[in-house]
Structure 1
């Protein structure tokens, strides 16, 4: 999609598709930056996306440089961000998450991983290389090189889970889990077990998170679409069901959610 410029947006966000050779491991690379000229903090709300990211945080004066990992959650996360903050992230594919992290993704807690022993196989030397990057494009190359050192081939990832993720993404969470399982030649219980082992979430939980993301993308791309049509496009029975889901996952009404989305200027998004 083309860049979308929001009037008076104080924050910027964009995503980049990974190259084919690591697409089985990485869902996307992303950048988030705060453009405000004010010294006052901005309350930023991060909505659930059903994925784990390895992310690097820096401030433009380079005083702060930190590696983080986020946890899987279906709850909104609020944080304070400041002018000059920059985040460069690598969003892991749910199908490969357990293999990349070498542990159950459901056990991951949000934390700084600068000196983490349990993630040393993934982060050794990474912080120093990212600190030296001048821009997001250079950071992507560093992430690509780092994850290739794991030597995980497509055959090492559960192909059924990878296909389930693809189906969910392509259909914006519209299909029922039983329908996805049938397409894959699995029972719903088999899919749930395999998906949970790889991704740390049940397929239903992942679908719920991706629906919220699909709504955000829709708000950026289809600004004139009303909520009734948007609910239908996202597979909800009606607008009331969409409203209930938004309230449950984001604590906001659809219109309030839309206002938060519009506070950010968007570059390209991976669909």
Structure 2
């Protein structure tokens, strides 16, 4: 597999973390499933070749659409790569995605939604044009589409922006109670804003960020002091740490460390 990221233009970089490209080819269909872990971001993905299959709520693998939006998730997703794939993704930042959608983002929580259901024929036209373009042209077309979908009336929500600034700059904020104290506003008000503008409750977002930091720490390492890592990550109960880790990844810490999760490593939020 080949994975790389591209920085958006100056304006869109306030709302989008990156564009990413994932490509791969094999004479054999990939037999092993790949895990994708929650990262607190919503994504728009466009396939140029054979789409992946995704393990669904119906307990079977279903082929992903050509273009689709992935809502916030709180647990890992199982994907089965195709034998010949090429795709581009737009990773919205947590406070930026709501500027491109006309509905509360919690409505697509834990869902993979065909982009045509959201933007209609415009998505189909974008895909048709983008398929015959080189990479630089693809980015230009994507950015034109995104700028067209941007809602000026949905300027960045101050509560969300301030909350995320606190979370990113103060690694000791692990609870909504502490965030509420920092902001000087009620937990209920924070929760309502997070669900509408970020797509998940603040408690879930904080858990994702905490576990993302754990996964960044263990990348490319063979031996980990799990007790120390759980403590510095804000877990004062080892069983709580293991339960959250298993819910997040589907494995306990030692199982994950010995596994080879290529996509999970690619998509660990930088």
Q: Shorter-chain TM-score: which interval?
A: 0.7 to 0.9
Q: CA deviation at 1:264?
A: 5.1
Distance 1:245 1:213 in 2: 11
Q: Which has the higher contact order (CA 8 A, sep 6+)?
A: 1
For this pair of structures, how many residues does the alignment match?
A: 256
Match of 1:50 among 40, 46, 56: 40
Deviates more, 1:81-90 or 1:24-33: 24-33
Q: CA deviation at 1:253?
A: 0.3
Where do 5+ consecutive residues of structure 1 fail to align?
Answer: 1-10
Partner of 2:114: 112
After superposition, the Cα gap between the structure-2 partners of 1:162 and 1:27, relative to the gap in structure 1 and judged at 3 Å, is farther
Deviates more, 1:255-264 or 1:160-169: 255-264
Where do 5+ consecutive residues of structure 2 fail to align?
Answer: 52-63
User: Is structure 2 residue 23 aligned with structure 1 residue 33?
Assistant: yes
Q: CA deviation at 1:98?
A: 3.1
Task: Tell me the SS of whatever aligns to 1:183.
Answer: helix
Q: Would you say the 8 A contact 1:15–1:269 is kept in 2?
A: no
Q: Would you say the 8 A contact 1:74–1:205 is kept in 2?
A: yes
Q: CA deviation at 1:266?
A: 5.7
Q: Would you say the 8 A contact 1:29–1:89 is kept in 2?
A: yes
Q: Would you say the 8 A contact 2:39–2:269 is kept in 1?
A: no
Distance 2:139 2:209 in 1: 23
**TM-score normalised by length of structure 2:** 0.77
Q: Would you say the 8 A contact 1:35–1:83 is kept in 2?
A: yes
Q: CA deviation at 1:189?
A: 2.0
Q: Give CA-to-partner distance per residue, 1:74-127, whole Å, 9 cap, x none.
A: 1222121123322311122332333311112122231322x33x3249736321
Q: Would you say the 8 A contact 1:54–1:68 is kept in 2?
A: yes
